[in-house]
Amino acid sequence: MNNLFVYLELQEDSRVAEVSLELLTKGRSLATQLGCRLEAVAAGCNLEGIAAQVMPYGVDVLHLFDAEGLYPYTSLPHTSVLVNLFKEEQPQIALMGATVIGRDLGPRVSSALHSGLTADCTALEIGEHDDKKAGKHYEGLLYQIRPAFGGNIVATIVNPENRPQMATVREGVMKKELFDANHQGEIVRHDVAKYVPDTDYVVKVIERHVERAKHNLKGAPIVVAGGYGVGSRENFQLLFDLAKELHGEVGASRAAVDAGFADHDRQIGQTGVTVRPKLYIACGISGQIQHIAGMQESSMIISINSDPNAPINTIADYVITGRVEDVVPKMIKYYKKNSK
Amino acid sequence: MNLRIIVLAKQVPDTRNVGKDAMNADGTINRAALPAIFNPEDLNALEQALRLKEQYPGTTVKVLTMGPPRAAEIVREGMFRGTDGGYLLTDRAFAGADTLATSYALSTAIRKMGEYDIIIGGRQAIDGDTAQVGPQVAEKLGLTQITYAEEILKVEDGRITVKRHIDGGVETVEGPLPIVITVNGSAAPCRPRNAKLLMTHKNAVITEWSVADIDGDVAQCGLSGSPTKVKAIQNIVFKAKESKAMGDTDAEIENLIVELVENHTIS
C-alpha cells in the first residue's frame, strides 16, 4: 500500500514509450528515498513482453491489464483501470508522461479520485511542507516543480491532503538509466472485466496513422535552432543546410513555430522538446525563459544574433554578433574547407 | 438536427508577449502589464462550434467562461462571431481555483444551463498550459471525451466523428453524444468578428452567475476546493557563463570552426 505508481504508455507492438522508462528511473529513486515500492501499470493487448522491458528499471510490482479493446488507447477504459486499481492500492504518488495519452488520462483520473494533478513537471523532489494556517506539518511530500505563466516563473506545487499526488512529465525531461539488468519484480495479471465495465468501450478508433518521427531532435548531438530572428521559412533552409553538413538536427523556438517558420514538432522548450546536445547553435533566438528551459543543459552554446544584448547570450559560450543569413553560410563554407 | 453546443472559453493574460515590466520586483506577476486576450485554442474551438451551427440549422452555441467581471468580453466576443450569448461565472469564491476546482464550477454551471449535446473548448489555456480542465469537466459530467481534436468531420445518429492529433500522427475516432471535445491550436483558425454582429451586440449585457446562482458548494470552489497548493514561486535565474564575444568577419568565423573541428565538437 501507499506505493509509487508509474503508468506505462504503450506504442505499437507493445513497446513501452521512452517517457515511461524515464519516469520509472525517476520513480525508482523517489521510491527508494521514501522507502516504498515502485509499481508499474500496463493496459493494452498482448502484454507478455512488457516485463522484460521494464524490470531492469527496478520495478517491484508490475500490474498487467491485458484485453482486446485496451489497445489502441481510449479514454474511459484506461481511466477505469487506474481509478479502480488506485482505489484498492491507495498509491501515494502516481506519475505519467505528459504525452497526448497522459494528458488525456491524467486529468480524468485525478478528477475521479479528487486528487491534485500537476502537468508538465520539470523536476520532482521529496520534501516537507508546513501549512501555517492549519498548523499542520507534512513530511515526504512530492514537490511538483514546473515553469508557469508562459515559462516566466517556476512554481513548486504540493498536494498536502489528497492522494495520490499526481504529476505528468514530458519526454526527455528525466533521464533514463538502467537500475539492474537482472532485477526481477512481481507480476500481477488482473481480470480486466472486474475493473472496466463494458459501457466504457464507447469510442471507436476508425482510422489511425502513426509515423515514426521524421527526425531525432531529442537525441541529436548537434542542434541548429532558429528563432523569430531568422525572419522567414526560406531563411530556415540555411539552418537545414548547416545541420546537414554537421550531421545535426534543426530545432526552433516557440516564436519561430508560431510565426510559421518551422514545424511544431521541432519546437524546443518548456512546451516542446528538451534537448541536451554537445553543441547548440542558437540562430536569431532572443532566449525567452521557456526556450532556455529546454536547452540550457547543452554542453556548448553558440549564439548568433544581431542584438548583442539578447538574453540568450548570457548562457552562451560563444556570442557572434551578426545576421543569421551572413554568419550561417560562412560557417558552412569554413566547415567544408576545414573538416576534410 | 438541432445541436446544443456549449463553448468553454477563458480570458487569459497574453503570456506569449511578456515584456520586461511583466514581473514585479518581488517576483510576482504584474498582470496589468499583460493584455487580456481570448485564449487562442478556445478560438479554434469556437470556430468548430460555429461551423456545426452553419451545417445544422437550429443549432445553438453558447459560451461559458469564468473570471473577473471584465471576462464578460469573452462572451461578447463569441456573439460578435455568431454565438447565441452565454454566461460568466464570477464570484470571489471562485478565485484561486486549480484545475479541479475550476472543472467543478464549470460542470455545475453546465448542469444549470440545461440539456446539451457537445461541450467544446480549447485543449489548454496559455497561462497554465495544463490541458486538464476539459477532461475533468467530462469526468464530472460522466461523459466521454475526445481531446486534441483537429476537425469535427460529422455528426450523425447521435454520434460524432472527429479527426484528432496523437503523438506521431493522427487518428479518426467516433464517439457518442453528449461528449466533451478539446481542440488543438493546429485546427482551423477562428473567423473574424462580423461587423454587423459587433454593432448589434457591443453593449450586450451578459448574465453573471455566482456560486449561489449555480447551486454550487463553496467548499469545492476556488482555493478551498483545490487539492494542489502553490508552495513556492521563484523567478528563473540561469547561471550566466563567461562568453567569448565575436564579430561576423570571415576570419573570426573560420577560427571558431577550426577550433570546434580540432576539439572534436563537430566532425
Q: What is the DSSP letter of A202?
A: T
Question: What is the span of the domain harbouring residue B122?
Answer: 4-225
Answer yes or no: do A69 and A151 share one domain.
Answer: yes
Q: DSSP letters of A72-129?
A: S--HHHHHHHHHHHHHHH--SEEEEESSHHHHHHHHHHHHHHT--EEEEESEEEEEEE
Sorting pLDDT into bands at 50, 70 and 90, what band is B19? low
Question: What is the span of the domain harbouring residue A18?
Answer: 4-200
Closest partner residue to A205 among B171, B233, B245, by Cβ? B171
3-state secondary structure of A9: coil
Read off the pTM: 0.86
Going by C-alpha positions, the residue among A1, A220, A36, A224 that lies closest to residue A142 is: A36
Answer yes or no: do A130 and A183 share one domain.
Answer: yes
Cis, bond preceding B135 (omega within 30 deg of 0): no
3-state secondary structure of B198: helix
Burial letters B11-47, b for 16+ CB under 10 A, else e: bbbbbbebeeebbeeeeebeeeebeebbbbbbbbbbb
Residue B230 located in a structural domain: no
- Decide if A206 and B173 are in contact by the 8 Å CB cutoff: yes
Answer yes or no: do A83 and A11 share one domain.
Answer: yes
Cis, bond preceding B227 (omega within 30 deg of 0): no
Q: Chain-centre distance of CA A122, in angstroms? A: 8
Residue B250 located in a structural domain: no
Residue B252 located in a structural domain: no
Going by C-alpha positions, the residue among B135, B99, B107, B132 that lies closest to residue B230 is: B99
Which chain A residues are closer than 8 Å to B257 by Cβ? 331, 334-335, 338
- Decide if A246 and B256 are in contact by the 8 Å CB cutoff: no
Answer yes or no: do A185 and A226 share one domain.
Answer: no
Which chain A residues are closer than 8 Å to B158 by Cβ? none
Answer yes or no: do A113 and A25 share one domain.
Answer: yes
In this model, does residue B172 exceed pLDDT 80? Answer: yes
CATH of the domain at A308: 3.40.50.1220
Supply the pLDDT for residue A159.
95
Q: How many domains does chain A have?
A: 2
Q: How many angstroms separate the first and last alpha carbons of chain A?
A: 61
Q: Which residue of A has its CA nearest to B34?
A: A149
- Decide if A205 and B127 are in contact by the 8 Å CB cutoff: no
Q: Which residue of B has its CA nearest to A338?
A: B258
Answer yes or no: do A183 and A34 share one domain.
Answer: yes
What is the number of CB-based contacts under 8 A between chain A and chain B? 251
Residue A301 located in a structural domain: yes
Residue B238 located in a structural domain: no
Residue B165 located in a structural domain: yes
Which chain A residues are closer than 8 Å to B15 by Cβ? 149-152
Residue A139 located in a structural domain: yes
CATH of the domain at A152: 3.40.50.620
Among A128, A169, A206, A216, the strongest candidate for a mutation testing the B interface, having the largest count of B CBs within 10 A, is: A206
Answer yes or no: do A135 and A42 share one domain.
Answer: yes
Residue B249 located in a structural domain: no
Residue A136 located in a structural domain: yes
- Decide if B231 and A129 are in contact by the 8 Å CB cutoff: yes
In this model, does residue B34 exceed pLDDT 90? Answer: no
Supply the pLDDT for residue B228.
93
Answer yes or no: do A107 and A157 share one domain.
Answer: yes
Residue B235 located in a structural domain: no
Closest partner residue to A327 among B129, B138, B253, by Cβ? B253
Contact A315, A301 (CB under 8 A): yes
Which chain B residues are closer than 8 Å to A119 by Cβ? 128-132
Q: How many domains does chain B have?
A: 1
Answer yes or no: do A190 and A53 share one domain.
Answer: yes
pLDDT tens digit sequence for A205-217: 999 998 776 788 9
User: Which of A278-287, A289-298, B23-32, B208-217 bottoms out in mean pLDDT, i.e. has the lowest?
Assistant: B23-32
Q: How far is CA A144 from CA A125, A141, B20, B128, B229, in A?
A: 7, 9, 27, 14, 10
Residue A291 located in a structural domain: yes
pLDDT tens digit sequence for B64-99: 999 999 999 999 999 999 999 999 999 999 998 999
Among B107, B163, B257, the strongest candidate for a mutation testing the A interface, having the largest count of A CBs within 10 A, is: B257
Residue B50 located in a structural domain: yes
C-alpha count within 13 angstroms, C-beta hemisphere, residue A270: 30
Q: What is the DSSP letter of B71?
A: G
CATH of the domain at B26: 3.40.50.620
Answer yes or no: do A109 and A226 share one domain.
Answer: no
pLDDT tens digit sequence for B183-220: 999 899 999 999 999 999 999 999 999 999 999 999 99
What's the mean pLDDT when you consider all of chain A?
A: 94
Answer yes or no: do A117 and A168 share one domain.
Answer: yes
Shortest Cα distance from B199 to chain A (angstroms)?
A: 31
Among B34, B102, B104, B132, the strongest candidate for a mutation testing the A interface, having the largest count of A CBs within 10 A, is: B132
Shortest Cα distance from A14 to chain B (angstroms)?
A: 15
Answer yes or no: do A315 and A186 share one domain.
Answer: no
